[in-house]
Structure 1
């Protein structure tokens, strides 16, 4: 009763606590599902949403299928697939495309695991649909797991088939006419000869012409389609490395030196002498290395070229028990002791593989039976035993091993266990010069042992050269102070005072992962695109080897290229336009001679120039100039013409038209093929340019 009384007294508090818990529960669910007003979609294409959950599942699946791919790379790949899926799906629906069983089988037939599998090939070595259909019928009852995998891949195959059909339809819509063919023929064979005076843009120094940001922006706005861009960010950053100081390195060197010689330690009430790395028994070395080294002991025998590059000679020439070092290699202080040497640690061998039908990984084109392959291998062995110098030529002509046939059939520095057992056993158990035919699961190998190398077994104590706690604290303090100063003072000024180099990154895209000079730094990209990050914001980031302090220089949501990036492309165009006006002022006169005298440029002649090449001698490709020459009547002089590389005045001398052909079929076929190839490669780009695509990945 006392308990119930207490509960009643505190009922208001309980209600508030319970209410708060419920509220927290709801809030947690809201956050997990996208938050208040936050999209649950990763993006959309023409109004078709791409749900977050489905997108992330596909990214995870791709990461599992392709070990080593980064999350951002997987995200970009899946995003591209999803955009294409929706855009092409719209076109498939509009075109009324449907595919059947034969279409799907044709797609499977293009996969190497089916196309090259002897199980599905006919007598001519071609993919046999009947055999493949029989395989599908059988696995439906005998191998449910395989059947499920085939069913899971069928929608992908259907989409691929529809895309091939759609591409073929688009390509078939591109046709060339006789007029197109004739125009190509004339462009390549009509010839014009003309005189010209040319004043290059390079006659005026670039630094005499200024191009402002406003001029670049105005130019982009006139050509918005050409210079449109995703939202971008530009940043600048400095990197402060957290690395060992000179004092740290000295301390690590002293530590490794202390391990070399015997030392006295006080143990169990008395002094005990402990052997050092140099003088301990060889059998004690592995345990000593494992107890004292940052890299564990490796018992493998290695050849000289696999020892540390800068010290290979010194280490390889050690006598058994001798020690080399300390030395620095790969960010470690090291000492190495020779434990053993043996002949034949690795082998150089040449072989010719003769595969037979049904052998492991035999190509579909292989037709030899096992007996025929053995007979061929025996015959090749006879030829090699008669003249060993023929081995390389015979390998190139006969070997079914693509990995070695083009280098004389040779594999160098083969270590035990690298080859299949029978091959391995022969080359390691026979002397140099020995030849034989050896059978493996891959077929018959004609083998010759070319050389054997001495190998060594060494023990190495390695201590990583890392900054001490004191150095790490100093580096952290320096980075923190820089971040603080850079929020109040100009970034360049703070960097100069700290003796640090500033790196500028002109264009970051929402999907970027890597940053110039830093590698994979997705966190910095996400910060730059965060809605809370404004131009001028400064932030410190921990990286694997120190700290990066970044400043957000520019936020570009205009849909146009960043000015700094556009300047590289547009500034030369505007600069040349300004130069052209100055040059025109010098090229006065109605005749070439008058213009030559006024400008100081000589009169030159271009002979037999075609529109197809549009090459002006000593100048370069100038299609506008050559086209103008063709358009002028013989004996006529043009006005001033601005070309790609300068300003011209031309006078046409002769226009020689090529003789008409009875037909232009060869040109017709060439033009049509080129247009169809180009059309197929531009479909995806064209669909994306005209689509309404919303990408929310950077907000996730």
Structure 2
């Protein structure tokens, strides 16, 4: 008790200190979680500015639709990842450059904006959207008409807001262009740089060398110490900066693809399908009932040679109407195809249309009646362009007088395409499609070739429930036995190949052998090192069980994290020390390169016409240190030992052949400056990105 009384003050201070430390540590941990993982609505931070998921997702959705519209295809996991990165880079560029532009006071004034939109030299994007398809030149009248319509449109018109956003984006692009112009104008190449570059590309060196290769010492004969690793790591520490967290994991896959029995059973179904298709008298209805693939269920359209599945393209163009081909295997299905119709028709059509919306016109009957009235006005001589601007809901074509340009087969929906290709030039038709009611005017038809209409039904090659159950049971059995210590051993016991996905980033969508592995990646970035998934992931026709084996955090990686990576280089450094001593001993007192070779027990290799700009040693590889040293040496003098990337070297320069004097420094400067300009934009962006302290939380959401 006396001890406690005498030291009570100290004890109280310690207790209070521990309590404060616990409180502060708790806050730091919570702050750290928020700092490194963001909140539940933030997809990233750029220069302190938060990117909200809702805004990011809206732009991502817009970019996805634009990509699909431009390329006419649905997005694979790889393309989805590509569009996601484009969207993220748009935010990076927009925010980073905006801050820089504001900092140095770059502006685009009212007069400059007006010039960009309607001046003599409008913005390239505006010019592209208002280019006359026939002349390839800017259609000034069309642009002015559009601007007049926008100006007179009510404030509630969505086109007005869209145009304002578009112009704002072009102003931002102009500011960025000015900012980069400031950078470009600061790049300068002087005459000395031009001369050095010219000589680096044209001055020739002739020399002889002897070498002792690192491969001459077996790895097993070399002892590498921790100090060797630490020395290499310290010297190259800057190269071990990890821009984003990476994870490595192993995985095994259990095959649930269709068995031979499954395939045989599906073939029987396909054979019966072929027989029924031959007997069918209503091909369109048969397809709607029996086709499983949505593409096959799409309305039938005439197609030219080269547009059909390669398996049937040549066959159908040489067959008679009613011919049935199959079953054949294509894109993972048994398919049966029937030649429904054939004809000779135009290759392309130039047309225009007016599109009406039944929902806003009071229903389809009223819309068709209105379309007939418009058709009569057109047949009576009214201007198609004027009526298109007045009535068409397709604003993009309406501003061009309803013009759709010239299109080939496959560019339009089947019902519209059939009408355009089957009609005659000058004809006006009323057609109903999923987009509404069209008043179509066929202006011109070009070319002539045979086209066919082919109907296809299919039976996908899918695994039976028995096959899937067996594969799933094997995966579950493996899960019940495997742990962090025996993962590889259990896989070997089960006859499974263990694959490794190395240094995977948090946004990866594919892995070696797995095209759509996003769910596995998301799991891996939530797991701890050594964790095995608590379930088998379904990827295509496989059940996959992963295990995290390494986590590389963002920032400079620790020595242990890169030890395996740097091991070959460290091994060569240790070998270099041994071989350098041997080769230096041979060089000591030698008066010629031949004496060095004789003492070292190797041969002299003569080399001709090497240039500094291409430091490649013929028959070996790139040797920067060696070639750099040669071009800094005096002829006829045996060198010291040079430790290269592939061995140690001693050389003697026979001669240098100087190029003709540089007579046109201006051209050389221009060449170097062009190379600088090509690199400058990306290098500036990378530097600004580093400075912006970018935090990327996309892996949580995507």
* C-alpha spacing 1:542/1:562, structure 2 compared with 1 (3 Å): farther
* Displacement after TM superposition at 1:616 (Å): 4.7
Q: What is the number of residues matched between the two proteins?
A: 577
Residue 182 (str. 1) matches residue 195 (str. 2): yes
Gaps of 5+ in 1: 1-32, 261-275, 361-400, 405-410, 428-439
Question: Which residue is equivalent to 2:509?
Answer: 513
How far apart, CA to CA, are the structure 1 residues paired with 2:333 and 2:133?
55
Question: Which residue is equivalent to 2:580?
Answer: 584
Contact 1:253 1:333 in 2 (8 A): yes
Instruction: Decide which of 532, 537, 543 is 2:539's aligned counterpart.
Output: 543
Contact 1:176 1:672 in 2 (8 A): yes
C-alpha distance after superposition, 1:9-30 (max 9, x if no partner): xxxxxxxxxxxxxxxxxxxxxx
Instruction: Decide which of 184, 187, 207 is 1:194's aligned counterpart.
Output: 207
Residue 169 (str. 1) matches residue 182 (str. 2): yes
Within a 5 Å distance, the mapping from 1:87-486 to structure 2 comes to 87-104=96-113, 109-112=122-125, 114-115=127-128, 117-118=130-131, 125=137, 136=147, 139-142=150-153, 145=157, 146-204=159-217, 219-229=232-242, 230-253=244-267, 277=276, 282-283=280-281, 294=292, 330-333=331-334, 345=343, 447=447, 449=448, 452=450, 462-486=458-482
Residue 579 of structure 2 aligns to a residue whose secondary structure is: helix
* Displacement after TM superposition at 1:661 (Å): 5.2
How far apart, CA to CA, are the structure 2 residues paired with 1:284 and 1:417?
18
* Displacement after TM superposition at 1:169 (Å): 0.6
* C-alpha spacing 1:321/1:94, structure 2 compared with 1 (3 Å): closer
Question: Which residue is equivalent to 1:408?
Answer: none
* Displacement after TM superposition at 1:294 (Å): 4.3
* Displacement after TM superposition at 1:502 (Å): 1.9
Q: Which moved more, 1:564-573 or 1:229-238?
A: 564-573
Question: Which residue is equivalent to 1:696?
Answer: 697
How far apart, CA to CA, are the structure 2 residues paired with 1:493 and 1:208?
30
TM-score (norm 2): 0.67
Residue 518 of structure 1 aligns to a residue whose secondary structure is: coil
C-alpha distance after superposition, 1:374-423 (max 9, x if no partner): xxxxxxxxxxxxxxxxxxxxxxxxxxx9999xxxxxx99xx999989787
How far apart, CA to CA, are the structure 1 residues paired with 2:292 and 2:419?
34
* Displacement after TM superposition at 1:101 (Å): 3.3
* Displacement after TM superposition at 1:166 (Å): 0.9
Question: Which residue is equivalent to 2:597?
Answer: 596
Residue 519 of structure 1 aligns to a residue whose secondary structure is: coil
* C-alpha spacing 1:211/1:459, structure 2 compared with 1 (3 Å): same
How far apart, CA to CA, are the structure 2 residues paired with 1:403 and 1:220?
61
Question: Which residue is equivalent to 2:396?
Answer: none
Contact 2:213 2:646 in 1 (8 A): yes
* C-alpha spacing 1:156/1:652, structure 2 compared with 1 (3 Å): same
C-alpha distance after superposition, 1:185-243 (max 9, x if no partner): 33334444333223444545667668799976864554233231111111111222333
TM-score (norm 1): 0.67
How far apart, CA to CA, are the structure 2 residues paired with 1:610 and 1:523?
51
How far apart, CA to CA, are the structure 2 residues paired with 1:473 and 1:636?
77
Residue 276 of structure 2 aligns to a residue whose secondary structure is: coil
Gaps of 5+ in 2: 1-33, 69-73, 354-404, 426-439
Residue 549 of structure 1 aligns to a residue whose secondary structure is: strand
* C-alpha spacing 1:650/1:141, structure 2 compared with 1 (3 Å): same
How far apart, CA to CA, are the structure 1 residues paired with 2:287 and 2:207?
82
Question: Which residue is equivalent to 1:270?
Answer: none
How far apart, CA to CA, are the structure 1 residues paired with 2:418 and 2:560?
57
How far apart, CA to CA, are the structure 2 residues paired with 1:278 and 1:119?
48
Residue 515 of structure 1 aligns to a residue whose secondary structure is: coil
Contact 2:334 2:459 in 1 (8 A): yes
Residue 643 (str. 1) matches residue 656 (str. 2): no
Question: Which residue is equivalent to 2:630?
Answer: 629
Contact 2:580 2:643 in 1 (8 A): no
C-alpha distance after superposition, 1:499-552 (max 9, x if no partner): 22222101111222223322233222221112x544333232233434221111
Residue 520 of structure 1 aligns to a residue whose secondary structure is: coil
* Displacement after TM superposition at 1:641 (Å): 1.0
* C-alpha spacing 1:40/1:421, structure 2 compared with 1 (3 Å): closer
Within a 5 Å distance, the mapping from 1:29-68 to structure 2 comes to 38=39, 40-67=41-68, 68=74
How far apart, CA to CA, are the structure 2 residues paired with 1:452 and 1:497?
60
* Displacement after TM superposition at 1:646 (Å): 2.9
Residue 283 of structure 1 aligns to a residue whose secondary structure is: coil
